[in-house]
Amino acid sequence: MDNLTHSLVGVLLGEVGSRQANLPRKAAVWTSVIASNLPDLDVVCNLVHDEGNLFYLLHHRGWTHSLLAVIPLGVFSSFFGNKIGNNHKKLSGKLILLGVLAAFLHIAADYCNNYGVHPFSPFLNRWFYGDFLFIAEPFILFILIPYVFFRTQSQIYKILLILFEIILAGALFLISPKIIALMICCLGGLSFFIHYKKTKSLPSVLGIGCVLIVFKFASVYARNKVVESFNQTKDRIKIDQIVTSPAPGNPFCWAVIAQGVDQDKNYIARTGIVSLAPTLISEKICDSYAKLSHPWTQPVSYNKLNFWKTEFKKPLAELNEGKKYCLFENFLKFSRIPIWNRTEMGWEVEDLRYAGKTNGGFTYREIKRDSKCFQVGAPWEPPTAILRP
């Protein structure tokens, strides 16, 4: 989840906490906002290690996104929230509990998209993926912004919130189907009207809950369409991973990736676009959301349901050979849909979830055969089941 949404959720939680637990309002809101963002302090991994993006990929949403970490993060947030909120009373257990809850909700929100989290580390080092929400979901933003607008007393914040909502609305009409953009803007207008009459947290909480339920059920439907497609093929691919990711603000359009191994021991990763309501929003319109072509992929030859677009296919033996190299093995602790290209010097690797039309995305990495290994401090199990011992 993006940090603006984390912050807006923090304001909502802080307001609710201040009323329900009888906490000083400013201290509660600041505690909740800080704790709602603090787990992302792992971004410094990109700055403090010579290996740059690989070290970051392994540690982002790692230790600071575990259930054990929410306690110290909550205590830290409540201490500084109490100070910034000018609360001269002794730090209370209720304020600490609010900070812990806010840090926990950060992890829960990050679980919703396809990047993944490690909530049970170090006891269970698996990745967990929600696969049902875009990283910056416009529906949630348009629900929360009006609530925060009427709760804040700062005119600068009010102006910034209105400007952001106007820019976001304009962007939606440029990149989204008009009916979807109109639905989101109408929801934002309704949210402003409700909170103008009486600013209460319940409508925002219910609205967010409805968005999560709709997108979750839509992701299950998209996943079932993928399984149906593979059941109709003749190449007998054993599916290992299915990744689903919705278009922003659009529960009808889904980018899907399916990865597995065929009967000839070939590693296969297919990308596609699924429209859950093709009479309302066609696959062609949904296609505009995703950049599915990549130099290492080819067009799909067998496409009975007409939503598969590209395919990466290489012998599984190549992947197993790459595992012999330390940096490649480290990359596979993060990469859910690894793709690769052999070079004279070694390997190029990337995660197909975040690969664009050309290699060089934020997961792209060159690995030379003579590259030195380094300790990553990340005992994660590889997301891809075929790579686990």
CA distances, 175 to each of 98, 168, 222, 289 (Å): 38, 11, 21, 8
* Average of per-residue pLDDT across 193-197: 85
SS3 assignment, position 164: helix
In the DSSP assignment, the letter for residue 128 is B
Which of 69, 147, 132 shows the shortest CA–CA distance to 104?
Answer: 69
Q: What is the pLDDT of residues 39-74, one digit of tens each?
A: 998 877 666 665 657 888 888 888 899 999 999 999
**E strand spans, 333-383:** 338-342, 346-351, 365-368
Work out the mean pLDDT of the chain and round it to a whole number: 88
Whether 25 and 84 have beta carbons less than 8 Å apart is answered as no
Average pLDDT over residues 187-194: 90
Half-sphere exposure of 378 (CA within 13 A, CB side): 30
Instruction: Please give the Cα distance from 202 to 199 (Å, whole number).
Output: 9
The band of 15, judged by pLDDT with boundaries at 50, 70 and 90, is very high
Higher pLDDT, 324 or 221: 221
Residue in this structure with the two tokens 């001269």, named with its chain if needed:
88
Most confident region among 44-53, 237-246, 355-364 by mean pLDDT: 237-246
3-class DSSP state of 66: coil
Per cent of the chain over pLDDT 70 is: 92
Per-residue pLDDT tens digits for 80-91: 999 998 877 888
Predicted confidence (pLDDT) at residue 243 exceeds the cutoff of 70: yes
Q: Determine the 3-state secondary structure of 245 from DSSP.
A: strand
Report whether 32 contacts 98 (CB < 8 A).
Answer: yes
Asked whether the predicted pLDDT for residue 225 surpasses 70, the reply is: yes
Whole-number pLDDT of residue 214? 96
The Cα 45–Cα 225 span in angstroms is 38
Specify the pLDDT at position 345: 86
Output 357 or 12, whichever has higher pLDDT: 12
State residue 278's pLDDT score: 85
Greatest Cα pair distance, the chain, in angstroms, is 70
Q: What's the pLDDT score for residue 377?
A: 75
